[in-house]
Structure 1
């Protein structure tokens, strides 16, 4: 066989494939929403909101209702919107939370616009104040302070806060008056614990809870109204202390129980009505039996 015929019989090499180009990885939703571009967009939208509020409050041709408002008249709105935002957080519905946080932001912008027109301060003062505070109280980020953990961060925060609030004497001076009682109790206990006024462990808190139950029973047996009110307050305060040791927000825990009770009670009503009866026609034993059945079904879920 000739050399030419040998070469003709050799298999052809496959053509080289062009080098594949890797597609750029898609940014996650979180990366996009937290990007510098997204923050710039947030600044633009905030400026738009400030302009809208200024227009609503413009003397002469603004909204009559908005123009009538004062810092005092819209105080309740701030609390209401804060609670609605909390409800949205607990629901897990992020679209609803977006809306409710917007409503809460509106209250801050509204208050700042009123204050600006009074000549007191404006939104820039509010934003500047909190920005400077965050920088001062995070020296481990914006300075050269070293911290080992989050507990040390909190200790530094409290120490810096004390130097800023020189007029304050008590560790509890910073607790706002206008907060729900359960939250105020939680804050008071937490701040007292930070300066060492606390049980060594949860057994001390449980012991105090048991003690307060006994004292309430004694007050009720004596039918001393003033003493009863005082002891109920002490008992609630002790329950909050146990919750604090368990790292549970007592107000949140109570709200979960409120929702559970309302849901179960409505289920009892529905079952009775479905049977062609009314609640007032049923005995307590009958209602308890339905309640226990619904409760048992809940626990199986």
Structure 2
């Protein structure tokens, strides 16, 4: 077997582009006949879960406010992007350079207030909201030139987390006026869906219960959208709060020589309420 020489270690005077090219070359080597058997056998389908996992780990590092971990996780995500692009290059579809060209052109095209005809003009006084509206208008015009989209909702990835996809669907239909007028109107719809869920539960109809629960979740996701709240972020924060509290319950029991399995449901509830009344360090008491 041929022994390959790895890329040299980066030097302080090298540019970001030099270092990125080293990563591209490294992946090309790993996919070569003299490279790594595992890397060579990977496909777009086998990489899919790794791409998702690394993206979520980036989000987790952001949520934890850990710059060191974020740097590491961004590197892992960048690796997956280069890996995917190399597979596509091997199959004759496009290269990582093509992908970079595409996003560079898109950024210039969608920032006309900054780049006039591709030339920096010093920005403008557009507000962030106006910039967002302009971005969506430009994106809509671009979509109009692509004949592959048959309906308004085409192009929203089915692989998105369900809550996020629900909000994206609602935002897309809102562009043509199919939306609630105010958040209060969505809240009424939440009450309506809750009533229908209770009726399905009373009828002990499992299929209907699942359907109504889905309708309720879809509506709640769009309530978040109307309130300008990311539903995924809100639920992630709730998950983290529950996890923090439950760990505290477990620690309180352990301090008395007991485990979760030793406690009754009433005791667990008392510990839970005690934890809720005890604010985390540097904060105010948690809300229910």
TM-score normalised by the chain length of structure 1:
0.81
Give the secondary structure class of the aligned counterpart of 2:15.
Answer: helix
More helix per residue: 1
Compared with structure 1, are the counterparts of its residues 116 and 293 closer, same or farther at alpha carbon in structure 2 (3 Å cutoff)?
Answer: same
Q: Aligned partners of 1:109 and 1:288: how far apart in 2? A: 49
Residue number in structure 1 paired with 2:199: 218
Query: In the TM superposition, what are the counterparts of 1:63-142 in structure 2 within 5 Å?
Result: 63-142=36-115
Query: In the TM superposition, what are the counterparts of 1:147-296 in structure 2 within 5 Å?
Result: 149-296=130-277
- Native 8 Å contact 2:190 2:216 kept in 1: yes
Give the secondary structure class of the aligned counterpart of 1:128.
Answer: helix
Cα distance, 1:147 vs structure 2:
9.1
Greater CA drift, 259-268 or 164-173: 164-173
Give RMSD over aligned pairs.
2.3
- Native 8 Å contact 1:138 1:157 kept in 2: no
TM-score normalised by the chain length of structure 2:
0.84
4+ long deviations beyond 4 Å: none
Cα distance, 1:296 vs structure 2:
0.9
Q: Aligned partners of 1:300 and 1:189: how far apart in 2? A: 34
Compared with structure 1, are the counterparts of its residues 152 and 183 closer, same or farther at alpha carbon in structure 2 (3 Å cutoff)?
Answer: closer
- Native 8 Å contact 1:216 1:228 kept in 2: yes
**Structure 2, unaligned runs of 5 or more:** 1-11, 118-123
Deviations 1:178-212 (A, max 9, x none): 11111110111111112211111111111001111
Larger Rg over CA atoms: 1
**Structure 1, unaligned runs of 5 or more:** 1-37
Q: Aligned partners of 1:187 and 1:167: how far apart in 2? A: 19
